[in-house]
Chains A and B, each alone.
Chain A
Amino acid sequence: MSEGTIKKFMFVNRKAPYGTIYALESLEVVLITAAFDQDVSLVFMDDGVFQLKKGQQTKGIENKNFSPTYRALDGYDIEKLYVEEEALAARGLSEDDLLVDVIVMSRAELGKLMNDMDVVLSF
């Protein structure tokens, strides 16, 4: 039975938004997982850090701008957003460029965190 079981779920986001649908559909799973009262962590690595870039304007590509949803995660009690330090640096980004408060971590620290998870999902 799933009732009462709390597992550690990690969502690994390594892809940029809009070029493919993965970022958006990953976010949809994240929201549902929170509704199940699970222990949710989001990790943004590699190009996944672009998902959190401030100032996304999607009118010109006629796509829904889903980036405000990251700001709403707080309301779903999802507060563990981890961002790969090296990925930011490699893309000319800093924490100030991101649209939400995050915890910046080194790759090694992220690896330790990942080891500790029950379920790791990546899209």
Chain B
Amino acid sequence: MLHIINKSPAERNALDSCLNVAQDGGVILLIEDAVYAATQGNEAEAKLRDALSRFKVFALAPDLEARGMGDRVMEGVATVDYGGFVDLVTEHKNCQSWL
């Protein structure tokens, strides 16, 4: 299933909660302030790197660019635009927004 996260890992526990609960093979999409989690040097980087062995992780490019972080995406995380966001939703049976 698709897990959507929209909060910075420094502000909320949404990413942690998702990683604790999500089943292997799931897909995680980081949008809005959650895109900071996928940037190099962020304190969440190691956590997310570990997660990459269990999940595919995507980050929304327009949200990265808006925050001046478009060129800092960590290796292993793919970026998508809104069209790619739509594709992720339609490709998975269900989705959970970790609000």
A102-123: which have CB < 8 Å to B?
A: 107-108, 110-112, 114-115, 117-120, 122-123
Q: Interface SS of chain B: helix, strand, loop or mixed? A: loop
Nearest-CB residue, chain A, relative to B16:
A46
Q: Determine whether the beta carbon of B94 is less than 8 Å from that of A119.
A: yes
Query: What class of interface size applies to chain B in its complex with A?
Result: 10 to 19
CA distance A19 to B17 in the complex (A): 20
In-complex Cβ contact of A122 among B22, B23, B96 (8 A): B96
CA distance A12 to B1 in the complex (A): 15
CA distance A42 to B1 in the complex (A): 18
Cβ contact within 8 Å between A114 and B17: no
Q: Which residues of A contact B (CB under 8 A)?
A: 12, 14, 22, 45-46, 86, 107-108, 110-112, 114-115, 117-120, 122-123
